[in-house]
Amino acid sequence: MRSITILGSTGSIGTQALDVIRRNAERFKVVGLSAAGTNQELLVGQIREFLPPVVAIADETAAEEIRRGLGSMKGIELRVGPDAAETLAADTEADTVLNALVGSSGLGPTLAALQSGKTVALANKESLVVGGELVMDLIKGEPERLLPVDSEHSALAMALRGERRDDLKRVVLTGSGGPFRGWTATELSKASMKEALQHPVWSMGPKITIDSATLMNKGLEVIEAHYLFGLEYSQIHVLIHPQGVVHAIAEFRDGSMRAEMATADMRLPIQLALAWPERLPTGVESLPLTERELTFEPVDHEAFPAVDLAYRVGALGLTFPAVMNAANEVAVMAFLEGKISLPRIVQIVQTIVDEHEPASIVSVVNIDRADAWARRRTAEIIEAR
């Protein structure tokens, strides 16, 4: 039986991961859960069902609500504070830590879990975007201690399974195009928050849904693929695939291609990571291949400049990715609060990247400094307008 710790258990990925575990109770045991504390009722229910010995909660007030919700229940250790998830990732007796946290706050727990010798199932793409060099240094010679949960990277791992890396020519990451596929740059300036949150394929949290609307999510995935698979940026391509059936394609030097196809259901990449290298029989529904056509389109780079920006930032390296990510997180929140238009998100991020003076060495301290500067400067630009 494989023991699992889930960071971000009340989010979209966390709840689906627990559903995978529920369906495969003979294979997995939950030994730790963490949550920000914004959905106390759900977390209490998860604790009562899965009985993890340790639970990490970021917010002290929320922790008090959890204690009241658990009542006289014994045998649950609550760790509270901003570093609780990091200590949980390092200390619990887990074989695998599923990092489903949102944003750059996921880097610390990823590093802590890897440093303690655990396998990380990574749904927190920002860990690699912000600290890719640091993460990859910890798994040299042990690449299977870092397993992708993003649907595209999980599919790419399947497509490359058993293939010689020297035979690989390029990879294609697909994206549905989000809710604004086909919109012009002018039309996007009028996009509402309600429209932006209506993703046509996936059901996700608000931050990643907005990233999908700007295609910043696809840009982040390009950087993630660079680290996960040791690819040059010139080998990574992005195509729009509205049906969301083909999640990634590997093209080999003989001209052949291997496409990974599946119903758009995040439980599949989650269970592929948790059970690696096995496949579980409780998968997702089979694709009705005769009932749909598959189409592919190029990215509209004028309307969606985030992808080109990510390629540029990835190539620059150093602390540029941390700055891009931090500025994007602040700008997305400003859009959700009605302070800026959708296109302004990427415009502001571009400004922050252009202003950035990078540190010459990638370290946790330098990443934190760059992150803090980018957040402060982004907030200044937003408030000035």
Residue pair 109/101 in contact (Cβ under 8 Å)? The answer is: yes
Q: Could you report the per-residue pLDDT of 35-73, keeping only the tens digit for each?
A: 987 889 999 999 999 999 999 999 888 889 999 999 888
Distance, in Å, from the CA atom of 206 to the CA atom of 128, rounded to the nearest integer, reads 21
CATH of domain 2-148: 3.40.50.720
Type of residue at 114: L
> What residue has token string 């559903």?
19
> What residue has token string 């931090």?
326
Distance, in Å, from the CA atom of 325 to the CA atom of 128, rounded to the nearest integer, reads 11
Type of residue at 167: D
Q: Could you report the per-residue pLDDT of 101-145, keeping only the tens digit for each?
A: 988 899 999 999 999 999 999 999 999 999 999 999 999 999 999
pLDDT score recorded for residue 37: 77
Distance, in Å, from the CA atom of 4 to the CA atom of 28, rounded to the nearest integer, reads 7
Residue pair 39/120 in contact (Cβ under 8 Å)? The answer is: no
Residue pair 294/207 in contact (Cβ under 8 Å)? The answer is: no
The structure's pTM equals 0.94
| Residue 24 confidence class, pLDDT cut points 50, 70, 90 | very high
Distance, in Å, from the CA atom of 33 to the CA atom of 6, rounded to the nearest integer, reads 5
The residue among 28, 72, 80 whose CA lies nearest residue 48 is 72
| Residues of the chain above pLDDT 70, percent | 100
Domain 317-385 fold is Rna Polymerase Sigma Factor; Chain: A (1.10.1740)
Q: Could you report the per-residue pLDDT of 262-275, keeping only the tens digit for each?
A: 998 999 999 999 99
Q: Which regions of 217-275 does DSSP assign to beta strands (E)?
A: 236-240, 246-252, 257-261
Type of residue at 201: V
Residue pair 248/222 in contact (Cβ under 8 Å)? The answer is: no
Q: Residue 168: phi, psi to the nearest 5?
A: -80, 130
Residue pair 52/31 in contact (Cβ under 8 Å)? The answer is: yes
Q: What is the DSSP string of 141-190?
A: T-GGGEEE-SHHHHHHHHHHTT--GGGEEEEEEEE--GGGTT--HHHHTT
Q: What is the largest CA-CA distance in the chain?
A: 64
Name the strand (E) or helix (H) holding 319: none
The residue among 242, 199, 221, 87 whose CA lies nearest residue 149 is 221
Can you give the residue ranges of every domain in the chain?
A: 2-148, 151-299, 317-385
Please state, rounded to an integer, the average pLDDT across all residues of the chain. 95
Q: Check whether 89 has a pLDDT greater than 90.
A: yes
Q: Could you report the per-residue pLDDT of 145-193, keeping only the tens digit for each?
A: 999 999 999 999 999 999 999 999 999 999 999 999 999 999 999 999 9
Q: Could you report the per-residue pLDDT of 310-321, keeping only the tens digit for each?
A: 999 999 999 999
| Residue 97 confidence class, pLDDT cut points 50, 70, 90 | very high
Q: Could you report the per-residue pLDDT of 212-237, keeping only the tens digit for each?
A: 999 999 999 999 999 999 999 999 99
Pairing between β-strand 246-252 and β-strand 168-175 as defined by DSSP bridges? antiparallel
Distance, in Å, from the CA atom of 48 to the CA atom of 273, rounded to the nearest integer, reads 25
Type of residue at 197: L
Does residue 85 sit in helix, strand or coil?
helix
pLDDT score recorded for residue 261: 95
Distance, in Å, from the CA atom of 179 to the CA atom of 17, rounded to the nearest integer, reads 26
